Amino acid sequence: MNEHKGSRFAHITRAHPCFNEKMHDKVGRAHVPVAPKCNIFCNFCTRDINNEEDRPGVTSCIMQPDDAINHINDVTADGPISVVGVAGPGDSLANDETFEFFEKLATEQPDLIKCMSTNGLLLPKYADRLAELGVNSVTVTINAIDPDIAVDIYSFIKYEGKVYKGYEAVEILIKNQLEGVEKAAANGLVVKVNSVLIPGVNDEHIVEIAREVEKRGAALMNILPLIPLGKMKHLQRPDCSMMEKVREEVEEIIPVFRACTQCRADAYGIPGKKSEDHHLGMTPQSHY
């Protein structure tokens, strides 16, 4: 890690609970669900609006940017929130509301760390704009860089007004994801790559993802266990030994974050403390 990249990474890890395990139970983050639309179909993904499930892709409501700003003002007044992120429930970059929210947040709360998650399809297009908006970090979910593996993970993508399927779809997606990581890192954003470990599909491939994204400028990886849903509901969730084996292999190449709780798109509070971690469905009416 070069000195410039390392200094940016150190700045984020001092206050970001999703980049530093030592801060995971000390400082909070707030996700705002302003991005409902998605532009790819992952075979394990089921987006939903409910108050029960604790997983990505779930929220109790969709917020407009102004409502999200009010929410952030409230939660930062209530507790030690250092990071604000757009994490769906769709893809952040497929929704104009993401950019509107970050524009407003830069004026309203300029000192907060601003982050977002994306599947990376549109990241080459928008990396410059994210940097201009003051976004500090971006998490890119990359589950395969080999089209032969990716074709079993994704059903289709929507890109530039057209639907692509099969190998054509995954070749576009992989190309854009890797270019997006490189361009975001070159723009000064700290890049974390999430990979969902899918037994029998990509469990022996994630180390190859690590090698490639590290070369492209990623600073950190997060290996997530498959939550069997959708077209992959018949698969087994990876056990602890498989997770640890892959994490150890990846850690020889790039630092690995190990404390992820696979948060909802409307989560806020301190992720390492259950008593202080909330989502909008749990929020008192007096708050929102």
Sign of CA dihedral 35, 36, 40, 42: positive
Question: Do the beta carbons of residue 193 and residue 222 sit within 8 Å?
Answer: yes
Q: Provide the pLDDT for residue 272.
A: 42
Question: For 80-94, how does the pLDDT look when each residue is reduced to its tens digit (9 = 90+)?
Answer: 788 898 988 999 999
Note whether residue 104 is domain-resident.
Answer: yes
SS3 191: strand
pTM: 0.85
- From CA 132, how far away is CA 76, in angstroms rounded? 24
**pLDDT value of residue 23:** 47
Q: Is the dihedral of CA 182, 129, 98, 152 positive or negative?
A: negative
In this prediction, residue 281 carries a pLDDT of: 57
For residues 17 and 238, which has the higher predicted lDDT (pLDDT)? Answer: 238
Helix (H) or strand (E) holding 117: strand 113-118
Residue 170 resides in a domain: yes
Residue 275 located in a structural domain = no
pLDDT over threshold 90, residue 257? no
**Cβ neighbour number for residue 112 with a 10 Å cutoff:** 21
Q: How far is CA 18 from CA 165, 201, 258, in A?
A: 33, 26, 9
User: Which tops the pLDDT comparison, 198 or 109?
Assistant: 198
* Beta strands at 28-31 and 267-269: parallel, antiparallel or unpaired: antiparallel
How far is the C-alpha of 157 from the C-alpha of 153, rounded, in Å? 12
Please report whether residue 195 resides in a domain. yes
Amino acid residing at 169: A
Over residues 202-231, the pLDDT tens digits come to 999 999 999 999 999 999 999 999 999 889
Among 22-36, 110-124, 145-159, 265-279, the minimum mean pLDDT is found in 265-279
User: What is d(CA 6, CA 1) in angstroms, rounded to the nearest whole number?
Assistant: 6
Tokens of 131: 């940097």
- Residue span of the structural domain in which 245 resides: 29-269
Return the pLDDT at 261.
Answer: 63
Provide the percentage of residues in the chain whose pLDDT is more than 70: 78
Q: In angstroms, how far is CA 91 from the centroid of its own chain?
A: 9
Instruction: Look at residue 149 and tell me whether its pLDDT is greater than 60.
Output: yes
Number of domains in the chain: 1
In a domain, 279, yes or no: no
Chain segment 86-116, per-residue pLDDT in tens: 988 999 999 999 999 999 999 888 888 899 9
3 assigned to some structural domain = no
Q: How high does pLDDT run on average in the chain? A: 84
For the cut 80, the answer to whether the pLDDT of residue 7 exceeds it is no
pLDDT at 284 over 60: no
- Domain assignment present for residue 4? The answer is no
Structure tokens at 129: 């704009």
Instruction: Identify whether 258 is part of a domain.
Output: yes
CATH of the domain at 189: 3.20.20.70
- pLDDT above 50 for 266: yes
Per-residue pLDDT reduced to its tens digit, 33-63? 999 999 999 999 877 675 655 666 667 788 8
